[in-house]
A and B are shown apart, each in its own frame.
Chain A
């Protein structure tokens, strides 16, 4: 019942019929006067002050119906809804002295009130067609090739969703190349959205060298060019709040990652940024239960990439009980179980990556371990030296890095053993533990790092994480 309701809710609140549809758009004749401008305007929902035109030209565009004028806030018997960010929470609306209701949720992008409008460009825009744009010469592994074929066929068809369930280290970027090659040949507009700005920055040069003839723009909070006028946009999910019915292909990286699965306005924006007929490709190493249910009911097609690009299986976490972990930590000591393991490490040449539940734990553990391991440091989310420390660890200036869950995804180090202290702590959910285990064995030169969960009692998250890793390794052997 609850699920049915939420399904109903989603289809109701994700109603974007107020955006001029692409069919309607196709009928409006393109206006040569605004040709250079149309790439910037198309697929956007902009405020008046985001459109760089003087009042006269603006009014001309509006009256010739090149621009659709859309009220920004919907009023319903149950309350208000912001069309720009999807906000429906009562406490995130307020009114101005003249009574006009405004949205507080997306106010950092400029305030929208009942009196303001969003402007959408009606005419259809033709994007350049690049045949054989892909210049990448590498070779896909059989597992990558299998997924790449599925992605290609999803992009070839309309209105298809596909979840790519690829293990950490599968090489997902390259799997997209054949599909994108097809998309650009057909003149499709593509968006790759990811939760983190550093991933946007890392991906841009890789796609630029693979597709040198295609114009690609990176959009994130601090990017210089925010015009968003290219046929291929790589963006943080926040940037999608300015788009509406823009993309023929919508790729969402790490669909399970925070803040994407928590912030409803980002789900709303990602949904809206894709055209009605768009192919939607979701990438993840650890799907959320919602998507797993959809997969089980055969509502969401899925392709597994159970093998890492180097062909070796995922390191399987070992459990070691350390019931005295908290007790010994209070006395500023580490559990003998941990110390013992450190003494008898199989491969002491590897760097050590240690995950702890809290910032306080990180500080204490680092302090204690510095007695045994002189070259050690810790990082956490609000650490101002975070990126320098990660870089120093990568440069092997540190032997050991103690971290909170902030390093659970994205960052890769070639040769590490991974330890989790108090792995039963609630911050380590199943997805986090799989991602953490995925930090080990990333390099083909050293594919078997150890992963140890030191715990004070097994949790369901720990058991499920290991089951999932086993399942993937089993699937991988069959390929």
Chain B
């Protein structure tokens, strides 16, 4: 087995602790894995942003202070910090289009999902990609993540506006038209899946539609938390 990141052969070091466990089929080597940072406490209890003490971050406080957005998103759970190594990997995965790279994180995605969400009967909904992006990239990164998790996935959202929004201010972004459209009603609680949680705007827009469309609660799950 070669490491998906650095292409070196992964050597299985037999130690006393793994002597009797089956050999893992991990697709990332120890060296590459050691350069990644798992999200740890203290963090914002809503969006998982790293903080000095546990609590709610300013961004989330702002969302919660607005009547129309309060409680729209229960909480976000992320797996990794967006450090330099992760930025490089995400760039190669998303922008260069090396689809298979996500398989490196299968175990961690499953583990964190189990820890936070396995108690509930959730429907996984990936954040959709525009037709244009989908055509260029050949895959939806959110769906790629969702497919690695052992839970039902349904693509009930579609995108009516493109992804470019970086030039707009926060206020503009928050109050612009919802870029998504709901294709069918949902009755189960939903776990939205995306690659990165940055400002939470995208996920909250999607969550709002889902709640209006019948979802009793909406959570989100992302590979990385930036900022």
Residues of A within 8 A of B (CB): 91-92, 94-98, 100, 102, 104, 107-108, 110-111, 113
Can you name 26 A-B pairs with beta carbons within 8 Å? A91-B2, A91-B7, A94-B98, A94-B100, A95-B100, A96-B99, A96-B138, A96-B139, A97-B99, A97-B139, A97-B144, A98-B138, A100-B138, A102-B97, A102-B99, A104-B98, A104-B100, A107-B92, A107-B96, A107-B98, A108-B92, A108-B96, A111-B97, A111-B98, A111-B138, A113-B138
Q: How many whole Å from B3's CB to the nearest CB in chain A?
A: 9
- Point out the residues of chain A lying under 8 angstroms from B2, CB to CB: 91
Q: How many whole Å from B104's CB to the nearest CB in chain A?
A: 12
- Point out the residues of chain B lying under 8 angstroms from A97, CB to CB: 99, 138-139, 143-144
Q: Kindly identify, within residues 80 to 119 of chain B, every residue whose CB is under 8 Å from any CB belonging to chain A.
A: 92, 96-100
Q: How many whole Å from B10's CB to the nearest CB in chain A?
A: 11
In the complex, A384 Cα to B92 Cα: how many Å? Answer: 24
B2 to A, closest residue via Cβ = A91
- Point out the residues of chain A lying under 8 angstroms from B99, CB to CB: 94-97, 102
A109 to B, closest residue via Cβ = B96
Q: How many whole Å from A379's CB to the nearest CB in chain B?
A: 23
Residues of B within 8 A of A (CB): 2, 7, 92, 96-100, 138-139, 143-144
A115 to B, closest residue via Cβ = B138
Q: How many whole Å from A101's CB to the nearest CB in chain B?
A: 11
5 nearest interchain CB pairs?
A: A94-B100, A111-B97, A91-B2, A96-B138, A107-B96
- Contacts A95-B99, A96-B138, A104-B100 given; 15 further ones with Cβ under 8 A? A91-B7, A92-B7, A94-B99, A95-B100, A96-B139, A97-B138, A97-B144, A107-B98, A108-B92, A108-B96, A110-B96, A111-B96, A111-B97, A111-B98, A113-B138
A110 to B, closest residue via Cβ = B96
In the complex, A98 Cα to B134 Cα: how many Å? Answer: 12
In the complex, A96 Cα to B7 Cα: how many Å? Answer: 19
In the complex, A342 Cα to B96 Cα: how many Å? Answer: 54
Q: How many whole Å from B193's CB to the nearest CB in chain A?
A: 15
In the complex, A104 Cα to B6 Cα: how many Å? Answer: 11
> Is the beta-carbon distance between A107 and B97 smaller than 8 angstroms?
yes
Residue of B2, B99, B100, B144 contacting most chain A CB atoms (<10 Å): B99
- Point out the residues of chain B lying under 8 angstroms from A113, CB to CB: 138
In the complex, A97 Cα to B143 Cα: how many Å? Answer: 10
- Point out the residues of chain B lying under 8 angstroms from A102, CB to CB: 97, 99
In the complex, A91 Cα to B7 Cα: how many Å? Answer: 8
A96 to B, closest residue via Cβ = B138
In the complex, A91 Cα to B100 Cα: how many Å? Answer: 11
In the complex, A97 Cα to B103 Cα: how many Å? Answer: 13
Residue of A92, A96, A104 contacting most chain B CB atoms (<10 Å): A104
In the complex, A94 Cα to B138 Cα: how many Å? Answer: 13
In the complex, A314 Cα to B98 Cα: how many Å? Answer: 50
Q: How many whole Å from A271's CB to the nearest CB in chain B?
A: 23
In the complex, A113 Cα to B97 Cα: how many Å? Answer: 10
- Point out the residues of chain B lying under 8 angstroms from A108, CB to CB: 92, 96
In the complex, A232 Cα to B7 Cα: how many Å? Answer: 35
In the complex, A94 Cα to B7 Cα: how many Å? Answer: 13
- Point out the residues of chain B lying under 8 angstroms from A98, CB to CB: 138
In the complex, A164 Cα to B92 Cα: how many Å? Answer: 40
In the complex, A426 Cα to B98 Cα: how many Å? Answer: 36
- Point out the residues of chain B lying under 8 angstroms from A95, CB to CB: 99-100
In the complex, A97 Cα to B100 Cα: how many Å? Answer: 10
Q: How many whole Å from B28's CB to the nearest CB in chain A?
A: 13
Q: How many whole Å from B185's CB to the nearest CB in chain A?
A: 27
Q: How many whole Å from B15's CB to the nearest CB in chain A?
A: 25
In the complex, A107 Cα to B91 Cα: how many Å? Answer: 11
- Point out the residues of chain A lying under 8 angstroms from B138, CB to CB: 96-98, 100, 111, 113
Residue of B2, B100, B144 contacting most chain A CB atoms (<10 Å): B100
- Point out the residues of chain A lying under 8 angstroms from B97, CB to CB: 102, 107, 111
A90 to B, closest residue via Cβ = B2
- Point out the residues of chain B lying under 8 angstroms from A96, CB to CB: 99, 138-139
In the complex, A275 Cα to B7 Cα: how many Å? Answer: 32
Q: How many whole Å from B148's CB to the nearest CB in chain A?
A: 13
In the complex, A96 Cα to B100 Cα: how many Å? Answer: 8
A105 to B, closest residue via Cβ = B7
B136 to A, closest residue via Cβ = A49
In the complex, A163 Cα to B2 Cα: how many Å? Answer: 37
- Point out the residues of chain A lying under 8 angstroms from B96, CB to CB: 107-108, 110-111
In the complex, A98 Cα to B92 Cα: how many Å? Answer: 19
- Point out the residues of chain B lying under 8 angstroms from A92, CB to CB: 7
In the complex, A113 Cα to B92 Cα: how many Å? Answer: 15
Q: How many whole Å from A79's CB to the nearest CB in chain B?
A: 15
In the complex, A107 Cα to B7 Cα: how many Å? Answer: 13
- Point out the residues of chain B lying under 8 angstroms from A94, CB to CB: 98-100
In the complex, A24 Cα to B99 Cα: how many Å? Answer: 38
In the complex, A100 Cα to B135 Cα: how many Å? Answer: 13
Q: How many whole Å from A330's CB to the nearest CB in chain B?
A: 27
In the complex, A97 Cα to B144 Cα: how many Å? Answer: 9
Q: How many whole Å from A340's CB to the nearest CB in chain B?
A: 42
- Point out the residues of chain A lying under 8 angstroms from B100, CB to CB: 94-95, 104
- Point out the residues of chain B lying under 8 angstroms from A110, CB to CB: 96
In the complex, A102 Cα to B98 Cα: how many Å? Answer: 8
In the complex, A97 Cα to B96 Cα: how many Å? Answer: 15
Q: How many whole Å from B60's CB to the nearest CB in chain A?
A: 34
A113 to B, closest residue via Cβ = B138
In the complex, A91 Cα to B138 Cα: how many Å? Answer: 20
A49 to B, closest residue via Cβ = B136
In the complex, A376 Cα to B92 Cα: how many Å? Answer: 41
- Point out the residues of chain B lying under 8 angstroms from A91, CB to CB: 2, 7
